[in-house]
Structure 1
Amino acid sequence: MVVSRSDQTARTRERLLETAERLFALHGIASVSSRQISKAAGQGNNYAVGHHFGDKTGLIRAILETHNARIDVIRGQRLGDLAEAADVRDWIECLIRPEIEHLVSLGATSYYARFCAHMAADPQTGYLLYESVAVSHPLTEVMTGFYRVLPTIPKRVMDARVSMSQNMIIHSLADIERSIEESPAEASTIADRWSDHCDLLIDAAVGLWLAPTKNP
């Protein structure tokens, strides 16, 4: 069967995306070069990343866009199921559970959560993670609904809890993903493990946001 040029290009881009995500997840963002990604993806051209994505930043954006498009579909479905009287927990679940459902769909060997954790910790690329959040309509709708039902919190407390919750969610998902890879099991068991951790993470996030404020 003859493979068209457009199909070949799409396959090459997919290999580069998958390879980059894995290498970034295992070694960090700054430690992996575009040349290393091209070589690991089996490309004879050391500048394949630049050819297909412009640069390393363009490659990272493409990884985020690929995953976020799938997560947006799941989150949009959950938004449609929310009751009018949705409370803080409902909105937090609509924030966290779609991410985990997507990670479950990736199977036992996934790298996306660890990739995001490395991105968040890297001063050169962390902004890309939050930049991608700003263009997600379902996520914007979730955050709008969440802030609408949240009790009044002083700004400095609000800012601190935003940072705390982001770090807790991002790094907890990375830890869970790593532990699943280190002790793989049947697909159904992996889904159950993710689900258990999801409930724990939602409980923790609700507790964080509804905690009393000692020094407002």
Structure 2
Amino acid sequence: MVRLQLARADDAARSAAAGQIKKVALRLFAERGVDGVTVREIAAAAGQKNHGAVGYYFGSKEALVRAIVMDGAVALDRERNAALDLLEEQGGPRTIRQVVNILIEPVLGLSDDHYVQFIVIFAMTHRDMMLDAIDPAWNRAYGRCLDHLRRLMPHLPPALQNQRFVFMGAYISAVLSARQRALADRSRAHPMWGSESSLEHFMQSLVALLDAPADLPKDMLARIGGAGAAIPEPPGPVG
């Protein structure tokens, strides 16, 4: 019994130490990028006396990065899927705004203040690694949202819908990253970014981006719908 209690205490200590390393690494990666932070810096900032703590708990820096990516991806996918399941049971989603809420609200509810910043920088510098780190099983909800948006955007041909989804992903990532970066600076107030009305305006503008009619000449529409038609890349966890 004593051995079992000691083993459990040791497991809890290991879990706490690994969690602290991930938390500190996420902040440093968000501030400086993955390539701008060493494992020694992470260990020191996490209060680990052993400079090899990252290797001890995760095996490598890359494994640590992958774990951080997946933590956020799993949390977002669970929340989005749960919200979609509920709406689908009720015959929805019935509006673009309902889908936008499902995409955005779980991101705003993430427990860490740095994940969006991190994932946006990581996607720009190591996109292949980011996509490889995400188990497709934990990124299903975003695809479900796109399927509903296609149904709710019948006024646009598929090629234009795909372009809108590319625009949407870039817009979500850029705005939420800027918001998170501003709010992480607690040295001063950020009236716009901290305002509920600003968030509401952002989501209304996202609906407008998706729902707006397209007024393009036929030759442009033909080019968009041709062999070079935009096809959304596999999405990151945020958008």
Structure-2-length-normalised TM-score: 0.72
Alignment of 1:56-205 (within 5 A): 56-82=61-87, 83-85=90-92, 86-102=94-110, 105-106=111-112, 110-122=113-125, 124-125=126-127, 127-128=129-130, 132=134, 134-136=136-138, 137-151=140-154, 152-155=156-159, 157-183=160-186, 193=194, 195-205=196-206
Structure 2 unmatched runs, 5+: 222-239
Mapped contact 1:96–1:198 kept (Cα < 8 A): no
Q: Does the C-alpha gap of structure 1 residues 87 and 207 become closer, same or farther in structure 2, counting only changes over 3 Å?
A: same
* Superposition RMSD in Å: 3.1
Letter in 2 for 1:94: I
Q: Does the C-alpha gap of structure 1 residues 78 and 184 become closer, same or farther in structure 2, counting only changes over 3 Å?
A: farther
Structure-1-length-normalised TM-score: 0.78
Residue 126 of structure 1, CA deviation: 5.6
Matched, 1:31 2:25: no
Residue 20 of structure 1, CA deviation: 0.5
Q: Does the C-alpha gap of structure 1 residues 79 and 185 become closer, same or farther in structure 2, counting only changes over 3 Å?
A: farther
Higher mean C-alpha deviation, range 3-12 or range 72-81 = 72-81
Residue 158 of structure 1, CA deviation: 4.0
Q: Among the aligned pairs, what percent are the same residue? A: 23
Q: Does the C-alpha gap of structure 1 residues 8 and 194 become closer, same or farther in structure 2, counting only changes over 3 Å?
A: farther
Residue 183 of structure 1, CA deviation: 4.7
Mapped contact 2:21–2:42 kept (Cα < 8 A): yes
Q: Does the C-alpha gap of structure 1 residues 59 and 172 become closer, same or farther in structure 2, counting only changes over 3 Å?
A: same
Residue 23 of structure 1, CA deviation: 0.2
Structure 1 unmatched runs, 5+: none
Alpha-carbon displacement from aligned partner over 1:144-186 (angstroms, at most 9, x marks no partner): 322333324352x444333322121112111111222335799
